[in-house]
Amino acid sequence: MKTVITTRIARRFEELRRAGELGLVAYITAGDPTLEASERIVLALAEAGADVIELGVPFSDPLADGPVIQRASERALHSGTTLRGVLDLVGRLRTKTEVPFVLFSYYNPVLQMGLEKFAAAAAEVGADGALITDITPEEAGDYRAAMHARELDTVFLAAPTSTEARLKLIAEASTGFLYVISRTGVTGAQNALAEELPALVRRVRGATSLPIAVGFGISHPGHVSLLGGLADAAVVGSALVAEIEKAQSAEAAATAIAAKARMLKEAARRGISRRESSR
């Protein structure tokens, strides 16, 4: 049975749909370089117009990530960040913002905490859902049950290699939104979007009525504009994390990342309007 959950995520996508606006999903690795810095950065991102914030849980072996997020993970682990610490960060942020939060993690830290304990804690601190990079619907039965029991969204990935049968499975397992990986590869900025992307998004549309967010390689306002009319949201990660890496202080990182987010959000708004005008 398809579980229908109405979290902040669903509500935000509904608002975006009504406004005819492409959403901006912003990823940062929590604890990079410290949890205190992340708190500032996330508030700045929310202020700058990020519609959903993905908080990466650092992991020692981030095999789906490119060098930028690998280094962010190392910095976060170096400052002692744990999954529990990331959950507490969400709790502190939730008193200050209503932006939807998706916990973005590899499976092992979640598994070691315990699926039910994780879901209970995530719900308690005010997170809205999770995306586990290295779990697919086939292995996700217990995880989905634990999350849905707490009315948390489970976001799954669709990839260019996903067959129609797999897209159907992914659509059935996903709630909140569906995350489409723009190209085969790891996370990280790219110059051009994959040529196959429009066809991929159309295939995913055929399998789900959920909002579709496209990520991996989205870094320029130009990319975001192109996604208008194609997807419901653009996910930007490495390009934001790179700003944190360059910055000299948490304050400078928050300022730089907010400026980048504002520029991307602006492009997201323009991208949609261009679609509307071309109709």
Partner 1 sequence: MSVAAQTWPDARGRFGPYGGRYVPETLMAPLEELERAYEAARADASFAAHLNAELKDFAGRPTPLQLASRLTEHLGGARIYLKREDLLHTGAHKINNCLGQGLLAVRMGKKRIIAETGAGQHGVASATVAARLGLECVVYMGTEDMERQRLNVSRMRMLNAEVVGVDAGSRTLKDAINEAMRDWVTNVRTTHYLLGSVLGAHPYPRMVRDFHACIGREARAQILAAEKRLPDWLVACVGGGSNAIGLFYEFLGDASVKMIGVEAGGRGTGLGEHAARLAFQAGFSGARPGVLQGTYSCVLQTPDGQIAPTHSVSAGLDYPAVGPEHAWLAEQGRAEYTAASDEAAIDAARTLARTEGIIPALESAHALAEVIRRAPKMKHGEIVIANLSGRGDKDMEILEKYL
State the nearest-atom distance from the C-beta of 275 to partner 1, in Å. Answer: 28
Catalytic residue chosen out of the listed positions 39, 65, 128, 232: 65
Closest contact distance (angstroms) between CB of 110 and partner 1 is: 7
- State the minimum distance, in angstroms, from the CB of residue 184 to partner 1: 5
Nearer to partner 1, 11 or 78 (CB): 78
Tell the smallest beta-carbon distance from residue 179 to partner 1 (Å): 9
Q: Toward partner 1, which CB reaches closer, 113 or 242? A: 113
Is position 54 annotated as part of the catalytic site? yes
CB–CB of 54/131 below 8 Å? yes
The active-site residue, picked from 21, 54, 153, 243, is 54
Q: Which is nearer to partner 1, 163 or 277 (CB)?
A: 163
* For partner 1, the closer CB: 24 or 132: 132
- Of the two residues 103 and 110, which places its CB atom closer to partner 1 in the complex? 110
Quick count: other Cβ atoms within 10 Å of Cβ 202? 10
The Cα 260–Cα 221 span in angstroms is 9
Q: Which residues contact 79 (CB under 8 A, 6 or more apart)?
A: 31, 32, 33, 34, 35
| Cβ proximity of 204 and 246 under 8 Å | no
Q: Is 65 a catalytic residue?
A: yes
Q: What region, left, alpha or beta, does residue 227 occupy, with left being phi > 0 and alpha being psi -120 to 50 degrees? A: alpha
Q: Give me the least distance between CB of 239 and partner 1, in Å please.
A: 19
Cβ-based nearer residue to partner 1, 5 or 77: 77
Q: Which residue has the tokens 């066809």?
A: 199
Cα angle at 262 between 14 and 37, to 5 degrees?
100
Q: What residue ranges bind partner 1 (CB under 8 A)? A: 59-64, 66, 70, 77, 82-84, 106-113, 133-136, 138-139, 156-163, 166, 170, 181, 184-186
CB of 206 to partner 1, least distance (A): 17
Provide the annotated active-site residues. Answer: 54, 65
